[in-house]
Structures are given as C-alpha cells and as structure tokens.
C-alpha cells in the first residue's frame, strides 16, 4: 500500500463510538477522514472546539 493511500483514511464512527481505518460504516455516520488514529479518536473534541469557535464568531458578528 502506498504512503498516500494510507494517509487520511482514519474515521470516527458516530454509530459505534470508535475509530475506523479504511472502509467501514457509511460516511453518513462517521466523521473524517483524519490523517491518523489519534486525531480520529479526538474527533468529538475537535468538533466541539470548532463549534465553540464558530459560536463565538457568530456572537462577535452580531454585535
């Protein structure tokens, strides 16, 4: 398997609450792709941080 092929195929499955590598559950129930297993495992924290940043940005724009 080439290096490019192996990068970016880590996912976080929302249905099962676990990291998947390569083919797995349908994309509609998972987040990613992520570059590595550790980043995929942190998907929910990453999403929460992004949502918080977007909420703050929206609040700033409303002022």
Kindly report the pTM of this predicted structure: 0.75
**Predicted local confidence at residue 8, as pLDDT:** 65
What does the alpha-carbon distance between residue 10 and residue 33 come to, in Å, rounded to a whole number? 5
Domain housing 40: 3-62
Burial (CB count <10 Å: 0-12, 13-18, 19+), residue 48:
exposed
The upper half-sphere exposure of residue 59, i.e. CA atoms within 13 Å in the direction of its Cβ, equals: 6
Tens of pLDDT, residues 13-60: 999 999 999 999 999 999 999 999 999 999 999 999 999 999 999 888
Number of domains comprising the chain: 1
Tens of pLDDT, residues 41-50: 999 999 999 9
Cis peptide before 24 (omega within 30 of 0): no
46's enclosing H/E stretch is: helix 43-62
């Amino acid at each position: 398997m080439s290096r490019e092929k192996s990068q970016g195929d880590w996912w976080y499955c929302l249905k099962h609450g676990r990291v998947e590598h390569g083919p797995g559950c349908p994309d509609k129930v998972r987040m990613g792709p992520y570059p590595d297993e550790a980043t995929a495992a942190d998907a929910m924290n990453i999403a929460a941080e992004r949502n918080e940043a977007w909420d703050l940005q929206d609040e700033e724009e409303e002022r």
